[in-house]
Amino acid sequence: GAGVSQSPSNKVTEKGKDVELRCDPISGHTALYWYRQSLGQGLEFLIYFQGNSAPDKSGLPSDRFSAERTGGSVSTLTIQRTQQEDSAVYLCASSLAGGREETQYFGPGTRLLVL
């Protein structure tokens, strides 16, 4: 079946603008994760959704970052008033139920460049 998809593949924006990044997890996967990969910080956890439970937002770097997951499926990561340090690859992953031994399936990522 289809894997995790993300859109757009690439996004170039100007400092101060808002951006929305989209993730379509594998159908039937209840757990969804967002990670960020940047040169300076490596791979970092951002946020985790599991079913209808309150998300774990502990990895969001500032209040300019927010995410939602509608209907337990598609997720949108929104960055408001983008800054140059937000430039990174944003990766989404999903797993069947969010267990610690479950394989996470990653999307191809969205490469964000803030000018």
**Which residues are near another protein by CB under 8 A?**
4, 31, 33, 35, 37, 42-45, 48, 50, 56, 59, 89, 91, 93, 95, 98-109
Q: Which is nearer to another protein, 14 or 101 (CB)?
A: 101
Find out whether 83 and 90 touch, Cβ atoms under 8 Å. no
Residue 6: count other Cβ atoms within 10 Å of its Cβ: 22
Reading the block at residue 5, the tokens are 């998809």
Shortest Cβ 106–another protein spacing (Å): 4
Q: Which is nearer to another protein, 59 or 80 (CB)?
A: 59
Round to whole Å and give the CA distance between 6 and 74: 10
Q: Which is nearer to another protein, 82 or 109 (CB)?
A: 109
Shortest Cβ 73–another protein spacing (Å): 18
Shortest Cβ 1–another protein spacing (Å): 16
